[in-house]
Structure 1
Amino acid sequence: MHRKFVIVLIPIQLWCMAVIGACAYAQAPNSDTLKVNIKQVEEQFLKNNLTLIAQKYNIDNASAQIITARLFPNPDFNFQNGILNDTHDAYKNQSVGISQLFTTAGKRNKNIQLAKIGVEQAKDQFFDLIRTLKFTLRTDFYTIYYNQQSAKVYDQEIGSLSKTLTAFKEQYAKGNIAQKEVLRIQSQLYSLQAEYNGLVTDIDTTQSELKMLIKASPNSYIVPVVDADLNSKESVTSIPYGKLLDSAYVNRYDLKNARATVDYNNMNLQLQKATAVPDVNLSLGYDKYGSFNNNYVGGGIEFNLPFFNRNQGGIKQARIAIDQSKVQLENQQNQIAMDLATSYKGALRLEKLYNSFDPAFKGDFTHLIQEVYKNYQLRNISLLEFIDFYDSFKTNTIQLNSIQLSKITSLEQLNYVTGTPFFNQQ
């Protein structure tokens, strides 16, 4: 009688806890739940991210260098008043002078051009930072979503087994079931709890990173809203490989910065050559009593004679910097081509793997579990067989979530490598 009671009671408990467990994760004690889609997350990121705000100041700082480069040198003024000489009117011996430095060989214009290139470099660095952080943002968003889906499966099974274990312990104490059945459920429960804890830790870590990116409250809990058909809508082959590569060469801001560095070094070479040309200092002076006649007015010109120092070292360093930046530019281009080839092959493999799964697999497997549950109610299968089936359901569901996440992440990698949002645009 007791065994019959247990057989009837356990399925009821399993069914109830399956329903309760499915909702438990979503109802975790977080007062500030943020349900957001990818577009909303990106808007918050561009608006609130402190790293971007700090980096943007570099553009303003570089722009200020243009103002400095455009300024002319200030004139020099000097005034002297006599203190002591052989006359009684020493204090009336006064002289005044003014001089102005004039740069030659277009140094001022070259400095302005260098400052303008510096602004472009600051902008390139800013937009490349956006590209890098946005890749992290989007992969975190999808990672949280699919891990939360997997956590619900764990939550459901743990809730069911916890109640079942309690009931079995009570029946074991009454001598209605064997100890091995209790230990089997207990072992399965502990294993699931350990896996679940690791998964929740990963979710919390990713949540923390995402919240930092969008400057969300530390007490908030992000629940990503994702189009269920997102994976089926995207195909790697929808964009020709040549177009991906061309886009990377045109739109990657780190590559633009490498090109700007070559331009900067070329302009710097011109400036270093111009530095070898002496600047001219023109002056005008007035002396009341101190010259060979009273009220003397004179003019002058001053410049150094480039006999020894013609800035040979600076010119050589500038030429070396040009060669170095050209090599670095070529290396950057090769790295982009290599990264794209690797990412493209990986995306093709993951798409092939994803497409090999029957779209109806998840629904069919869910239906199978329901049939297994009915057979367990009819005592056609044992509790351990039921647990094995349910564990298989959990494993396959989590694997499917992992494959879906990998496919989406591979497309995000292509967006990152090309510097262009080709994929996963909801």
Structure 2
Amino acid sequence: MNRLRLTTCSAFALIAFWLCTLSPLLAQTPVASTLPDTIRQSLPQLEQQFLERNFQLIAQRYQIDIAVAAITQAGLRPNPNLWFQGNLFNPNTGKVLPYGPPSQADKNAGIYNSGYYAVQIQQVILLAGKRSKLVALAESNKSLSRLAFQDVMRTLHYQLYTTYANLYYDLQVLRLFDDELARQQRLLESYRIVLRTGGVPAYEVTRLEVAIRDLQANSANYRTQIADEQATLRVLLRQPAGTFILPTELPPLKTTLPALATALDSALTNRPDIGLSQEQINNAERSLALEKARRTPDLTTGLLFEKYGNAYNNFTGFQLAMDLPVRNRNQGAIRSAETTLKSVTGGLENQQTIVQSDVLNAYDKLKTYYEQLNTQPEGYLDRIRNISVEATKAYNARTIGLLDYLDKIRTYQQAQLNNINLLNNLYNTQQLVNYTTSTRFF
């Protein structure tokens, strides 16, 4: 009996040794520590790369350049038209391309078997201000491209910031789980040693194995989330495959909330999608003005010179031509433009309602998280950390059992996880307020 008691005490001393020994590997960042292509990046560094390398932004910038080129094209006048007509074959003389001057005898007889040709030059003149209306429409299209670029940047910016924050906090959670997993694996190994001597019941070893499997499952879930976040960042930044982006820090958390009226006014003033809706009305009005101008036919003017083929030998005449707007007065295109204008006018009011709803939603969420943060008791985080320390001490002293120890550690884990999630939610909701207002409040 004394030998068994001695063996049990020695076994628990071994347990205490395992619990108090911390591996230096825990100080390393999980996942990233095994990758050779880890890049430590701050948020400003990532933002600079994003502006320079993101494919969607580059492609949208090209759309602005295309719109600028379209303005130049719309301002160009129609080219003049040059027309020439000559004699290919004269059946009277059997000559090909008979462009030599007729003989004096032929002239005296009024016969012109050679030398005939005609030259005509024409110019289309756009009437009813069509060219200026085309330029105005092209300028509106440029404004639409510029606003679309701003909206794409706003969306991708939000995605970059929230993905970076999610990665930052998910790595903290993963470190928490990996630290606890290492602790409990050491505890399990020591219990297996004691189990062989009969110092602990088998169910306690099984209970530890279940706890470890649970930690491994949670750790795997966060590893898959981190993999998704890495994939998103690689696409946003056009990083090569295999690169692991390691976030270094986040800006200090601000705890002041802007006035709701200020947030709503900023959104209605600065949101690119509101600007798009307003510019679409302007674009539709300019399209309608252009289609109405197209009811007026364009005027074609010209000069004609004809050699040996008209009322006299060297005939010079002028030309005027215009379509008669009898049947086609562009009625269908005008009706279509009028309908488009009605549609986009109603869309602006709907978009304003959506924007106000987005801001209120983000504002309410942020207030909720601020209230949760502000009601946190003083010294709460220090007491959370003490749970793990005190539980380990009590378990080493054998004043609490395994189940009580695991319960306290689980409480510690959940409290730490809740705090990390709160900070992550706070940061992401602040970015949501920035996104919905298109204003950098945070």
Q: What is the TM-score of this pair, normalised by structure 1?
A: 0.94
Partner Cα separation in structure 2 for residue 368 and residue 85 of structure 1 = 113
Q: CA 1:86–1:378 in 2, change beyond 3 Å: closer, same or farther?
A: closer
**Equivalent of residue 121 in structure 1, options 132, 144, 166:** 144
Aligned to 1:222: 245
Contact 2:387 2:409 in 1 (8 A): no
Higher relative contact order (CA 8 A, sep 6+): 1
The answer to whether residue 401 in structure 2 is matched with residue 402 in structure 1 is no
Contact 1:21 1:157 in 2 (8 A): no
The answer to whether residue 317 in structure 2 is matched with residue 294 in structure 1 is no
The answer to whether residue 368 in structure 2 is matched with residue 349 in structure 1 is yes
Consecutive unaligned residues of structure 1, counting only runs of 5 or more, are: none
**Equivalent of residue 168 in structure 1, options 191, 196, 206:** 191
1:15-414 maps to which residues of 2 (within 5 A)? 15-17=20-22, 20-23=25-28, 25=30, 28-84=33-89, 88=93, 90-227=113-250, 230-231=252-253, 233-236=254-257, 239-414=258-433
Provide, for residues 4-35 of structure 1, a one-character-per-residue CA deviation record: whole Å limited to 9, x for no partner: 12211112212224764353627620112222
**Equivalent of residue 5 in structure 1, options 10, 13, 21:** 10
Does the residue aligned with 2:119 lie in a helix, a strand or coil?
strand
Does the residue aligned with 2:332 lie in a helix, a strand or coil?
helix
Q: CA 1:412–1:328 in 2, change beyond 3 Å: closer, same or farther?
A: same
Q: CA 1:415–1:27 in 2, change beyond 3 Å: closer, same or farther?
A: closer
Consecutive unaligned residues of structure 2, counting only runs of 5 or more, are: 1-5, 94-111
Following superposition, the deviation at residue 372 of structure 1 comes to: 2.1
Partner Cα separation in structure 2 for residue 154 and residue 121 of structure 1 = 49
Does the residue aligned with 1:104 lie in a helix, a strand or coil?
coil
Contact 1:36 1:224 in 2 (8 A): yes
Contact 2:32 2:244 in 1 (8 A): no
Following superposition, the deviation at residue 45 of structure 1 comes to: 0.9
Contact 1:22 1:155 in 2 (8 A): no
Paired residue total: 419
Contact 1:22 1:153 in 2 (8 A): no
Q: CA 1:11–1:235 in 2, change beyond 3 Å: closer, same or farther?
A: farther
Following superposition, the deviation at residue 85 of structure 1 comes to: 5.0
Q: CA 1:18–1:374 in 2, change beyond 3 Å: closer, same or farther?
A: farther
Following superposition, the deviation at residue 162 of structure 1 comes to: 1.5
Provide, for residues 215-260 of structure 1, a one-character-per-residue CA deviation record: whole Å limited to 9, x for no partner: 23332222222258x33x3222xx1111111111111111111111
Contact 2:387 2:412 in 1 (8 A): no
Following superposition, the deviation at residue 340 of structure 1 comes to: 0.9
User: Which of structures 1 and 2 has the bigger CA Rg?
Assistant: 2
Does the residue aligned with 1:28 lie in a helix, a strand or coil?
helix
Following superposition, the deviation at residue 38 of structure 1 comes to: 1.8
Following superposition, the deviation at residue 362 of structure 1 comes to: 1.3
Aligned to 2:107: none
Provide, for residues 345-372 of structure 1, a one-character-per-residue CA deviation record: whole Å limited to 9, x for no partner: 1111111112111252111121232122
Contact 1:22 1:156 in 2 (8 A): no
Partner Cα separation in structure 2 for residue 386 and residue 21 of structure 1 = 21
Following superposition, the deviation at residue 103 of structure 1 comes to: 0.3
Contact 2:117 2:306 in 1 (8 A): yes
Contact 1:84 1:91 in 2 (8 A): no
Q: CA 1:109–1:366 in 2, change beyond 3 Å: closer, same or farther?
A: same
Following superposition, the deviation at residue 131 of structure 1 comes to: 0.1
Partner Cα separation in structure 2 for residue 268 and residue 295 of structure 1 = 47
Does the residue aligned with 2:400 lie in a helix, a strand or coil?
coil
Q: Counterpart of 2:45 in structure 1: which amino acid?
A: Q
Does the residue aligned with 1:80 lie in a helix, a strand or coil?
strand
Q: Indicate the RMSD between aligned Cα atoms, in angstroms.
A: 1.7
Contact 1:20 1:156 in 2 (8 A): no
Partner Cα separation in structure 2 for residue 420 and residue 83 of structure 1 = 73
Partner Cα separation in structure 2 for residue 26 and residue 199 of structure 1 = 11
Using the TM superposition, name which of 330-339 and 370-379 deviates more.
370-379
Provide, for residues 92-115 of structure 1, a one-character-per-residue CA deviation record: whole Å limited to 9, x for no partner: 211111101000011001001111
Contact 2:140 2:283 in 1 (8 A): yes
Partner Cα separation in structure 1 for residue 91 and residue 393 of structure 2 = 126
Contact 1:63 1:119 in 2 (8 A): yes
